[in-house]
Structure 1
Amino acid sequence: MTDAAGLDADELRFADPDNPFLLDPDTEFASADSLPREAAESEAALLRAALREHDYRYYAENDPLIADRTYDRLFARLAELEDAFDLDTAESPTQRVGGTTLDELETVEHVVPMLSIDQSGEAADVRDFDERVRREVGGRDDGGGGDVEYTCEPKFDGLSVELVYEDGSFVQAATRGDGERGDDVTEQVRTIRSIPDRLGGDPPEFLAVRGEVYIPRDAFREHNRERVERGEEPFANPRNAAAGTLRQLDVDAVARRPLDCFCYDVLGWEDGGRDAPATQWEGLSILDDFGLKTNDRVELVGDVEDAVEYRNRLLEEREDLNYEIDGVVIKVNDLALCEELGTTARSYRWAFAYKFPARAEVTTITDVVVQVGRTGRLTPVALLDPVDVGGVTVSRATLHNPDEIDRLGVNVGDRVRVKRAGDVIPQVAEVVESRSDEPYAFPETCPVCGSAVERDGPLAFCTGGLACEAQAERAVVHYASRGGLDIEGLGEESVEQLREAGLVESLPDLYRLPDRRDELASLEGWGETSADNLVAEIEASREPPLSDFLAALGVPEVGGATARNLARQFGTVDAVRTASESELADVDDVGEIVAATVRDFFASEENAAVIDELLEFVSPREAETPDDADELDGLTFVFTGALSAPRSAAEDLVQRHGANATGSVSGNTDYLVVGENPGASKREDADANDVPTVDEGEFSALLREHGLVWPPDDEE
C-alpha cells in the first residue's frame, strides 16, 4: 500500500493530488443533515473521483492507497450524500452494486467487426505467418525492407467484449457474438470495478475498446469452493464461469461474481483535434492513461524469433499467473500496416495466436473442498487447474473419502495424475509430485453447518441432520414425497426453485408458505392456481397420522412399516422422541441397530430444534396402542380427493381399528378410497398395482360390515 508521503499528478488517473480522500482520508464526517446542498455536491464530486482512483489502484494496478475498511467508509459516505440530496448518477461508483433484473439481452451492432485470430500450436505456422507479413511489407511501393515489429501479449481465456465511451463516459458493452453483432451486456459490465464508469486523463470524444472479461484464478477457486460446499455443481473452468456470469439477466447476481477485465485493442477513435494511436504499443499506453486495465506481460519484440521465445517463456510461467491463458497473441505493431494487411472474412491478417499444448492428465490441485451430500455424507473433491483427460476438460476430481486421501497422501499444491473412471467420473489416480509435508487434514466439523463429523468406516457424515443447509433440500423433498406426507406439487425441481427464491430453507418454512402465497404465485411456472393448490395441500398436512409424520422426518432406517410400528407402540410423537434405546429395540421390525440410529436422530440438538419448530405448525394425530380394537387389522387404505368429512378423520378412524393409512399406493395397499376431485397419480398407481378403487359410499359400506360408521356422527 502506498504511504501518505504524497502522489504526483502523473501517477493519478481520476483524481487530483490534493483530493482529501486519496491518502489517509479523514472518515469522521459531519452529519449530512447539517450540510448545505452546495457543500454536499462538492464533497460527493471529490468522493466519486477518489473512489474511481481507489478502484483503479486496487483492481488494475494491484497497489491500493487505503485499507479496505477505509474504502468502505468513503463508499458509505457517498451513498449517504447521494441519498440525502438526490445526487446519484449512472456514473457514480455506488451504482456498481447491481440490483437490476433484465427481461432479456438485446442485440447491438459493433462499432467495427470483432473478428477471430488464426491460431496454431506449431512454431512453423507462426514463422509462415511472419513470412506472409514480411512479403506484404517488402512488396509495398515505398520498398519498406520487410522488417516488422510485433507486440506479444497473453491470449486470455475469457470472453471478448466491446466497451464504448462517449465524452469519457461508459455507455455500452457488448459480447463478441457473431463478430458483427453481440449481446448488450452494458448493465452487467457496469458492475466490474476494473472498468471505469468514467475515463481518466484526456479521452477522445468517442472511444471503442476491445477487452477480455475473466475471473481471476484465486477468485474462481474460492467461488467454486462455495458452490461445491452448497452442493452445487462447480464451473468447469474460469472462462465458462465468466461467460455464464456476463449473460445473466440478474445484474445483482453478476455484481456478486468476481469478474475482471483486461483491455488490449482500440477499435474506434473519434476526436476532432487528435489522431488515433499509430501503433499497438502506443494504444496500450493510452488505454492505461485513461485508467483502463492493461496487462503488464505485454512485450514489444523486433522479430518472429523473439515472439516464439516470448511464447515459450510464458508457457513456463503460466502456472504462476492469476488468470487463465491458453497461448500468446502476436500482432503487427504498426497500425497503418495492419490496415494494409486487412482481414479475411473471419480473421485479422495482421495477428496470429500461438497456442499452448493442452494440459494432459497431470495437473495441480488448487484446493480441496468437502461436499455435503443430501444424506449428510461428506465427499472430498479436488479442484484442479483445468486439464485435458481423454478429450474432456476437467477441473475437479473426486477423492472419494478420508481414507482415500490418506492412501494417496494428497494435499493442496500437489501435482497429480487424473483419470476418468469408466471414462465418466474424474478421480485422482496418483500423486506425481508432492509439494506438501502431509496429507490434507479432513475437517472435524461440517463445512456447511459446523456440526460434528462422524466416521463410519472409510466414510464421513455430518451430524447436523435437519438443521444442515446442505441436507435441507433433500429433507423437504422427502417430507413431501409419497413416503412422507404426500404433499402434491413439491417435487425436487419445485423445492429447488423455492429454496433459490428464499421461500423454503427448512421444513418449518413449508408452513409459512400460505402467508407468502403471492410470492409463490409470482414464481416462474407457477401462477395463481398452482399456488392455491400447493397451499391447500400444505394446509391439509397439518394433522397427519403419527406414522406418516415419523416417516416424513427422514429418520435413517425408518421406512413406512417401521414408522407404523413405532406409532402403534408409543402412540405420540413425544413418546417416540423420548424413548430409550432399549424401549425402541423392543418394537417389532426395529432391533438394536435401528434403535440406536433412531435414538441418535432424536437426541441430536440440531434435529430437536427443527422438530420443535415444526411441531408449532403440525399436530400429528395420536396413534392407538396395540391393545386397541382390531376390526380392520391387516388392511391398508389410501385416501385421495375430498370426502364428506376431513380426510384425516377417515385415516384416524381406520388406524384406531387396526388398519394402516398411508400416503401412497403400492402393491401392499388393499383399498384406494376416492373422493371428489382426486389426484390422477394415485388412481394410476392403483391401476398399475391392481388395487381395488372404492368411492366413499362403498367405503362406508365396507366399514359397516365391521360394525363401524362413516361418516362419523356429529357426536363422535
Structure 2
Amino acid sequence: MTAPAPDNASNQFSERAAELRQLLTRAAHAYYVLDAPELEDAVYDQLYRELLDLETAHPELVSADSPTQRVGGTPSEGFASVAHRIPLFSLDNAFSAEELRSWYARLLKVLDREPQASEPLPALAMVGELKIDGNALALSYENGVLIRGTTRGDGEQGEEITTNVRTIASIPLRLQLDPPPWVEVRGEALIPDRTFAAINADRAARDEPLFANPRNACAGTLRQLDPKVVAARRLDFFAYTLHLPDNWEGPRPISQWECLSWLSSAGFRVNPNAALLPDLAAVETFFNSWDSQRHDLDYATDGVVVKLNDLRLQDSAGFTQKAPRWAIALKYPAEEAPSRLLRITCQVGRTGVITPVAEFEPVALAGTSVSRATLHNADRLAELDLHSGDTIVVRKAGEIIPEVLRVLSELRPEGALPLDLPHQCPSCASELVRESGEAATRCVNSSCPAILRGALRHWVSKGALDVEGMGGKLIEQLVERGLIRSISDLYGLDAALLSSLERMGEKSAENLISAMEASRSQPWARQLYGLGIHHVGEVNAKGLAAAFPDIDTLARTAVDHPEAISELHGIGPEITQSLQQWFNTPANQRLIKQLQDVGLSLASSEQERQELASRSSTDGVLSGQTVVLTGTLPSMSRTQAKELIEAAGGKVSGSVSKKTSFVLAGEEAGSKLEKANKLGISVIDEAGLVALLQSSQS
C-alpha cells in the first residue's frame, strides 16, 4: 500500500507558501507604505527567495496576490499620486556567483545565443554599477527643464515631490546640452554617511529620535512637506538610467555606457565607480573587488548592478512581469558577527527618555571595531529577550548604526538572568515612568543631573534663548561642580567665577555674562520653547504664546481647563496632556518661580502680543481656509506667500484634497494644479491673492 506522502507534502508546500506570502506582504506594506521597516533586508531577501523557489518548483502555488507577482507598494497619502511615463521596474537579485551564471545562461537563451556543448560561453559586454542603498527617483524634463520629480511608488505610479527634488543640488534644473522634447531620468537619492552623522548629531543635541540608517532618513526627508527641511539635510543623487523619445532624430546613446556619459554631460552626477566589463569573468572580478572597497565609500552599497551594455540587445531581451531580463542585482551577504553581551547600560536624554544600550565584546564590522549598540526602548528589549551573558548577533544597519539583530538562545549560559530596564533612573535614582501608549520610559525628575544638562543645553540653544558661548563642555563643568542646580542658576553666575573654569578667560567670561543678560529680553515664545516641555516645539510654542500672554495664564489653563488648549489650532491631545503634567509637577512650579525671581518675565511684551496676534489671526480674510501653493510666483517667494496667508488666518497645505479652499498657482505649476482642476477647486494667481488680502483692509 502506498503512503499518501505526496499529498501531505503538497499541503505542506501550500501552507508554507501562504505563510510566506503573508509575511512578505506585511513587511512590504510596512516598508513601502508606512515607512517603518519590520524586516532586515537580508531576512526579507531570504524569505522572498524561499517563496520564489517554491513557486518555481510548484507553479500551481502561484497566486495573483503573491509578492513575486508585484513590483512594490502603494504610494503614501499626503502627496499627489502621478503615473510614470515609463514604469520603474525592480531588479531580480542574485546572491552568489552560481546564481549570476544562471541568470547569464537565461539571458543567452532569451537572446538565442546559447552555445553548443563544445563551444565556449559567448561574451556579452556589460556595465557594472554599485547598488546604492538609497531611494529611487524618476525625473521628467521637457525641453531641457525639470518639470517633475516623483518617488518610485509601486513602479507604475509614484508621489509627486518636485519641490523637494529641486533642493538636491546634484539634480540639474536645466540640462546642460541640447535636449529632445522630453527626457526621463532615473537615479538614486541618498544621504552620504558624513551628512547622516551630522544630522543624527543635531537630532541628539535636540533630544530627538535618531534615524536608524541613511536610507530611512532619506526616505523620510523626501516626504517632508517643508522643502526647507529637505534642503537642510543635503541629499545627493546618482543618475543611472536614461529614456529618450523613440522618434527623436538627434544624437542618441546606443549602449548603457554611452547613457552614463550622456547623463554626465547633461549635468547629472554619475557614480564614478561604474565599469565597462567585457564578459562574465570581468563581472565576477568587479563584484569581488568591491566587497572590501565599499567600506571606504561615503555611502552605503549592498551589491552591484549588472546591465547588458547594448541597448538593442536590452530591447530584445525585454522584461518579465516585474523585472528586466537584461539586468540583475548581485548582492553581498549582510555582514554580521556574534559577540558576548557584557552588560546593559542606560542613557538619560534631555526630556528624561531612558535609552538602553548593549555593551558587548568588541567585534569588527564594516571596517571598524564595534562594542556598543542602542536597544531603543523597553519593547525592543523585551522582543530580544536578552539574558546575562547571552551571545548576540550584531551588524551595522546601513553600514553605519550598530544594532543587535537577535540572540543565540541555544548558547545561553545555564542560570542566566533576564535583563530589563531599571525601575530607577541611573542618574538620580528617581522612579521611572512609562505612559500608556508610549514606547519611551522616562525620568520625570527635573532636578536629575542628566536631565539638567540636557535642559541647560536646550535653554541656551539658538531656537530658544540663544546664549552664545555657553557650550556643552562648560555646562558639564558647571553641573559636575554643583555650581548650577537649575536653569535659573545660570543668571546668578558672575564673570569671576566663570573665568576660573577650564578654558575660560576673563574676556570670554564677560562676553558670556553679557549674552546671559541679553537673553532675559528674548520673546515669550522662545522662553516657553526653552523650558523643554515634551511635545512643545518652536511652532507650537509660538501658537501657545499667541493664545496665552504669560506663563501663569498658560499654567492655570493647562491644569484647570485643558480643553481650552486642545481647541487651539495645531494643538492635539498629546501636547495638552504634556502641558498638564508639566505644570502639575512641583519641581516645575518651583522652576517658574525661580526664573521669575531672577528677572525672566515669561510673558509677552505689548509688541510681541500684537505680532503674534497678527500671525495667528482667527478672524482674517482667510480664516478657516486651506491653501495649496504650486509653481513659481512672479514677485514673491513661496515662504513670503505662506507668511501672508497665515497672517490672514489661513493654513497652507502641501497637497490638494477636497478640503482645499483654493490653489495659489504660479509658473510651471504641476500636478497640484491638474488635481485642483479635476476636483473643481478654485485657482488664483499672485495678483488674485494680493487683491484678496487688500480687500480685507479696505
Q: Give TM-score, length-normalised by structure 1.
A: 0.46
Q: Give TM-score, length-normalised by structure 2.
A: 0.47
Q: Which has the larger radius of gyration?
A: 1
